[in-house]
């Protein structure tokens, strides 16, 4: 592994401080490095591999699509995209779908749609978007512009204009930023990278009502917290607070790079039209065959039922840890997206866990994030705790 790591550090742009492991293959909830060592995976490629690794039905669906055609172009129709869009609409309750290659691109499309919606109303170019402090929406310029972490933005200013920031879960602070020019409010339904903070029902409902009153579009970023992660297909469904535009990615393709932004019929009919937006790869037949199969397997394998059952147990076990160690100051999260906040940086603990065969990741400096494949069992939770606890003590 040392030789590969040295080579990687010579050739790849150093934009990540990577863990010292070269992963080779996966099976269920386990990954293996190239020396054959097994790891229990509580990261799932950051919320991507929801179905676990080497799922035969999923792999077979991809293989058969590869043998047919991988890519055509969005200038032509293809059946996998039609099927994927139909199923995605059914599980989300949204009306219109645009497929992208990644989460950040889904956010870009959502922002463009919101600006176009406002432009069509008054023909002006001065519309404002309200985003949240401590949010994360991706690394491209639009997505970065609404990411409420100055550290990510600092070296790349100027961002796109007319973005204002409010405090998450603080409706008064949103009200302070609203003007006649506000065209959209964007937020994660559960803040992921910012430290695993779920939106409160009160906050979501107040923001929804404000948006209805002023014809502002509510954009919910469900890229990390969507796709069953919280025990609902999309996290907003728990409270029935439906967005006008929603972004989804990560687990949507379970490893094939794909994302989407979805709109209500009203937002869809009054924003982007032919020529306004496009992508070469977005929603190609291979990516859409993946989405199609993922959504089938969510249904037939009762993924959401499993999330609800196992996440209660995970919460219980994490609460026990919190009660045993006074340096753990909080446990929070929703479903299988959980965080333990410590009174100190968690990097060393995560490295130690990795040495002991457990893959974990941080969310910010002081939070250990638990974002496992959605197919984990209670005994996987027990195994995780068994490895993590000695690292903590
Ligand atoms: C990961 C993430 C993104 C960015 O997705 P990419 O596929 O990495 O571009 C955007 N929003 C949220 C909430 C995310 O967790």
10-residue mean pLDDT profile of the chain (393 residues): values are 96 95 98 98 98 97 98 96 98 98 98 98 97 98 97 95 98 98 98 97 98 98 98 98 98 97 98 97 97 98 98 98 98 98 98 98 97 98 98 95
Quick one: which atom of ligand 1 is closest to the CA of 250? 7
Q: Check pocket membership of 224 for ligand 1, CB cut-off 6 A.
A: yes
Q: Does residue 370 share a domain with residue 287?
A: no
For atom 10 of ligand 1, the residue with the nearest CA is: 137
The answer to whether residues 302 and 51 touch, using CB atoms and an 8 Å cutoff, is: no
Question: What is the predicted pLDDT for the residue at 284?
Answer: 97
The greatest distance separating any two alpha carbons of the chain, rounded to the nearest whole angstrom, comes to 62
Separation of 224 CA from ligand 1 center, angstroms? 7
Q: Check pocket membership of 192 for ligand 1, CB cut-off 6 A.
A: yes
Question: What is the predicted pLDDT for the residue at 323?
Answer: 97
Cβ atoms within 10 Å, residue 229: 32
Question: What is the predicted pLDDT for the residue at 364?
Answer: 94
Question: What is the predicted pLDDT for the residue at 102?
Answer: 98
Q: Does residue 167 share a domain with residue 76?
A: yes
Q: Does residue 369 share a domain with residue 315?
A: yes
Both tokens of residue 368? 């250990």
Q: Is 351 a member of any domain?
A: yes
Q: Does residue 354 share a domain with residue 218?
A: no
Question: What is the predicted pLDDT for the residue at 239?
Answer: 96
Residue 11 CB contacts under 8 Å (≥ 6 apart), including other chains: none
For atom 7 of ligand 1, the residue with the nearest CA is: 103
Q: Does residue 160 share a domain with residue 123?
A: yes
Quote the number of domains for the chain.
Answer: 2
Q: Check pocket membership of 188 for ligand 1, CB cut-off 6 A.
A: yes
Question: Of the candidates 119, 97, 123, which has an alpha carbon nearest to the alpha carbon of residue 271?
Answer: 119
Last residue of a domain, one of 270, 300, 330: 300
Question: What is the predicted pLDDT for the residue at 117?
Answer: 98
Question: What is the predicted pLDDT for the residue at 385?
Answer: 98
Question: What is the predicted pLDDT for the residue at 83?
Answer: 98
H helix intervals, 301-377: 303-324, 347-355
Q: Does residue 203 share a domain with residue 111?
A: yes
Q: Is 185 a member of any domain?
A: yes
pTM: 0.98
Q: Does residue 258 share a domain with residue 122?
A: yes
Print the domain residue range for 245: 69-300
Q: Does residue 284 share a domain with residue 147?
A: yes
Last residue of a domain, one of 282, 300, 318: 300
Q: Does residue 176 share a domain with residue 212?
A: yes
Q: Does residue 294 share a domain with residue 331?
A: no
Q: Is 62 a member of any domain?
A: no
């Amino acid at each position: 592994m040392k030789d590969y790591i040295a080579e990687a550090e010579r050739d790849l742009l150093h934009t990540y401080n990577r863990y010292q492991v070269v992963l080779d293959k996966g099976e269920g909830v386990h990954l293996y490095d190239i020396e054959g060592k097994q790891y229990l995976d509580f990261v799932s490629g950051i919320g991507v591999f929801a179905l676990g690794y080497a799922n035969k039905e999923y792999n077979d669906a991809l293989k058969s699509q590869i043998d047919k055609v991988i890519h055509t172009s969005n200038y032509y129709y293809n059946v996998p995209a039609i099927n994927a869009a139909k199923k995605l609409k059914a599980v989300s309750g949204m009306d219109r779908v645009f497929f992208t290659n990644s989460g950040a691109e889904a956010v870009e499309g959502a922002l463009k749609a919101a600006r176009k919606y406002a432009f069509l109303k008054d023909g002006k170019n001065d519309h404002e978007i309200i985003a949240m402090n401590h949010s994360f929406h991706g690394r491209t310029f639009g997505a970065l512009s609404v990411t409420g972490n100055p550290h990510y933005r600092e070296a790349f200013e100027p961002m796109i204009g007319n973005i204002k920031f409010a405090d998450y879960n603080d409706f008064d602070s949103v009200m302070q930023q609203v003007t006649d020019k506000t065209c959209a409010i964007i937020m994660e339904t559960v803040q992921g990278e910012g430290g695993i903070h779920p939106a409160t029902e009160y906050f979501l409902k107040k923001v929804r009502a404000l948006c209805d009153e002023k014809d502002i579009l509510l954009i919910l970023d469900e890229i990390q917290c969507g796709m069953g992660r919280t025990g609902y297909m999309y996290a907003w469904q728990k409270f029935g607070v439906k967005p006008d535009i929603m972004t989804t990615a990560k687990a949507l393709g379970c490893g094939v790079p794909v994302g989407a932004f979805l709109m209500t019929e009203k937002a869809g009919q009054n924003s982007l039209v032919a020529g306004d937006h496009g992508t070469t790869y977005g929603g190609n037949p291979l990516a859409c065959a993946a989405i199609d199969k993922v959504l089938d397997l969510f249904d037939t394998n009762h993924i959401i039922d499993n999330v609800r059952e196992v996440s209660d147990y995970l919460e219980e076990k994490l609460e026990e840890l919190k009660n045993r160690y006074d340096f753990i100051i909080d446990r929070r999260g929703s479903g299988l997206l959980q965080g333990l906040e410590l009174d100190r940086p968690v990097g060393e603990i995560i490295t130690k866990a990795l040495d002991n065969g457990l893959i974990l990741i941080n969310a910010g400096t002081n939070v250990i994030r638990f974002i496992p494949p959605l197919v984990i069992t209670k005994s996987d939770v027990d195994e995780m705790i068994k490895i993590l606890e000695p690292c903590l003590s």
